[in-house]
Chains A and B, each alone.
Chain A
Amino acid sequence: MPVNQVAEEAVGDYKAGWHDPENSSIRFDFGLSEQVVREISAIKEEPQWMTDIRVKAFHHFMERPMPTWGSTELLNSIKFDEICYFLRSGEGTEDDWDDVPEAIRDTFDKLGIPEAEQKWLSGVTAQYESEAVYHSIREDLEKQGVIFLDMDSGLREHEDIVKKYFCSIIPYQDNKFSALNTAVWSGGSFIYVPKGVHVEMPVQAYFRINAKNMGQFERTLIIADEGSSIHYVEGCTAPTYSTDSLHSAVVELIAMPGAYIRYTTIQNWSNNVYNLVTKRGIAHENATVEWVDGNIGSKLTMKYPAVILKGEGSHAEVISVAYAGEGMHQDAGAKVHHLASNTTSKILSKSITKDGGRGSYRGLVSVSRKAENCKVNVVCDALILDEQSQSDTYPTMEIKNSSCRCEHEASVSKVSDDQLFYLMSRGHSENEALAMIVNGFFEPFVRELPMEYAVELNQLMALEMEGSIG
């Protein structure tokens, strides 16, 4: 595709639409330069400090070598020059429903998702149907003083808060991809929960105004002030078909004293996507940060949700599952840093590999010298469904205080013929039996999900098991 192509937006003629008419064209820029970065910032009319940080991040990205772990082969095959770094409208794409692969459309059908929603999920159209729902939820939140905006609007309307916390937990120098995201970020969520406010319902990303598609370089910042709580849910179990090959988000969470943040993600990328995400939260005194992270699909996912336990008595939980089928590599895990006394952490990681897929658990838990009486619990389980598939674990523990109580368990299992036979003898076909075993394996994760996601994930795994046994 030629550089700087201007295309009419395919969904621009929706009558019921709530697009900003100025945004009804898209410009694709391929390749990255300081010029592109400055242009992005200029188009968004950002304050100077943001432009500066973007430019610094860009230079850091250029100089920073690729990680030498994970899948170096796949990482080095990313063609940065062929990536489009900015969609001017930030909404919709010129994709056609007919371009969405048949297999993915089939899956949508089997999951029973209506066509309008299918098109939205696949990035072909914007979702209008949920507007009403969105408004009522948003009104409730506003009454409580909760700020829930897309990140660009957040920066415009609450610059002081953004300036204070942006890059405070994940500096752009953190890694090559956090630098890239900081240079070219667009979209994502900005949430501020005031002191003592409890947001009862899980807040879902797709109710967010004007941000219908998962962006390539999303930037999310959530601040839960003292004693407040929020559960944020993003993604969906339906396969997310994307023509963009690189997705590199950054998510920063700040839990002030006594606050609670849970961040739930379910992602199901098509297997052409590199999903390289940096997620980190900080927990002050007696605060809790929980990552619930489900990764299905993608060509390569590298994602290690992290928590810094900075305040005494704070708690971290990272519960994740990964499923890697044919042509997929899931390199996922968790990181927790115990910097203060009486902090506790729990990591549960489960991976399933099938049809030559690769799953890796990479974990780091550190306890600093001054942190007394910490508790660490790490469990990682792998289920390998056939001989071609592979699973590895790379757990690292850096415990510098001897009062720490640390438990670590790891298991690798296979599905046995006897287990399948037992279930088949109860009237279940081989695929159904396999789905029961697989869903049972994921159950400790699934029960953490909001109901509709749990049901969908079970259905999805059942579909993945279909036709898997000859």
Chain B
Amino acid sequence: MAMGHGESNIEALLEIQNLHAGIGDTQILKGINLSIAPGEIHAIMGRNGSGKTTAANIIMGHPDFEVEEGDVLLSGENLLELEPWERAREGVFLSFQYPQAVPGLQVGNFLRKSVASIRGEEAAKGADFRGELNAAMDTLDIPRNFLSRYVNDGFSGGEKKRFEILQLLLLKPKLAILDETDSGLDIDGIKTVAAGINAAVRGTDSAALIITHYSRILEHVQPDKIHVLIGGQIVATGGPELAMQLEERGYEWLDSKAEAEGIA
């Protein structure tokens, strides 16, 4: 299953090869392989603590984690050598499970600076940017006075998630990773987010990786593949039916499989 060096699929937008990573002495990811083609949407499911957020953090370049082995490639380019902001400029985006508050940093200002940094100064200027910003906020039902609030400071759970998607729409990444963006969103919010993801990926060269505990959002985005992460390894990959199976049966039936493969 694991691909060695040189065998990488250059068609893939994201290619994760035999990724082993952890923090301090704790191993969290124990050999992950994953390949997402342009235009595809994949999902990762798995119990609490199985390593989903860790995988997302490592793709984005969180400095606290150490990669012991393996590669992460974006369109064939080694991401692991890049700083997080360089990865962002290459087109990687992470919608955080727990977005961080930055008191005193105004949303409008922050969005403009982020767009300037990732898409270039021109994209962040003038009436075009304003128009784009207003349209995206309308799509997500975010009121205008949000622009003068401080980044994630005092936002409700759902507001934080909508703000993450607002950034997704404005930053136009090649690869969007959404870490439990559906958790804490109301039903309309989930539909809105799903529509946003579909619009950003389907029929484009971009791709998305959705981390979730619920099949609801997957009904709206119809992922091409669903992967199940247990104990730091992907133990099962399938189509939408896998999400339904998990919903009904939980993860236990996969544990024996994991054990058989010597993972858990």
What residues make up the interface of A, taking CB atoms closer than 8 Å to B?
416-419, 421-430, 432-433, 436-437, 439-444
Contact = CB atoms under 8 A, between A and B. Distances in A.
A427 to B, nearest CB: 4
Ordered nearest first, which 4 A-B pairs have the shortest CB separation? A440-B104, A443-B104, A427-B117, A422-B100
Given A437-B102, A440-B150, A427 B60 contact: no
B105 A425 contact: no
Contacts of B84: 421, 424-425
Contacts of A442: 104
A425 B87 CA distance: 8
Contacts of B113: 428, 436
Contacts of A423: 100, 102
Interface residues of B, number: 33
A141 to B, nearest CB: 35
B104 A441 contact: yes
A421 B98 CA distance: 12
Contacts, number: 84
A432 B96 CA distance: 20
B89 interface: yes
Contacts of B96: 422, 425
Given A426-B118, A429-B83, A418 B100 contact: yes
Contacts of B103: 440-441, 443
Nearest to B109: A436
A424 B104 CA distance: 17
A426 B88 contact: yes
Given A424-B61, A426-B85, 19 more contacts: A417-B62, A418-B98, A421-B62, A422-B102, A425-B93, A426-B114, A426-B118, A426-B167, A427-B114, A427-B117, A427-B171, A428-B117, A429-B83, A430-B85, A436-B105, A439-B104, A441-B104, A442-B104, A443-B103
A441 B102 CA distance: 8
B99 interface: yes
Contacts of B64: 417
Contact of A428 (B60, B62, B114, B171): B114
Given A418-B100, A421-B62, A426 B105 contact: no
A437 B83 CA distance: 19
A426 B104 contact: no
Contact of B60 (A416, A425, A429, A444): A425
Contacts of A425: 60-61, 84-85, 87-88, 93-94, 96
A90 B94 CA distance: 59
A70 to B, nearest CB: 29
A422 B94 CA distance: 9
Nearest to B105: A440
Contact of B117 (A416, A421, A426, A444): A426
